[in-house]
Amino acid sequence: MDQGRLSIVIDGIVQGVFFRISAKQKAEELGIVGYAENLPDGKVKIMAEGNKDSLHQFLGWCHKGSSFARVSHVSFHWEKVRGNINEFSIR
């Protein structure tokens, strides 16, 4: 399996709308580990590690998010896999 690591920042109405909890559920469904955290500027940052096919699916989900979210922009970049995370958490 080809593994990858994505750093993702989601902008829009993404805080207070269950975005991080929904991201955790989607990540666990896809076998992705990492974390989601609110940023002071109202964005959500996600660090996700796992199979690249699953990461592509997860990234697609991030463009929509939870049912109450209104995503306006998603930026991301690939990073070197670290392998030091064993679950998906909310920070």
Query: Per residue in 10-37, pLDDT tens?
Result: 999 999 999 999 999 999 999 999 999 9
Q: Which fold has domain 3-78?
A: Alpha-Beta Plaits (3.30.70)
Domain definitions of the chain by residue range: 3-78
Single pTM value for the model: 0.94
Q: What is the mean pLDDT of residues 64-69?
A: 92
CA-nearest of 17, 18, 73, 84 to 47 is 84
Catalytic residue IDs? 20, 38
Burial 54-89 (b: 16+ CB within 10 A, else e): bbebbeebbeebbeebebeebeeeeeeeeeebeebe
The arrangement of strands across the sheet holding 33-38 comes to: 70-79, 3-13, 44-51, 33-38, 88-90
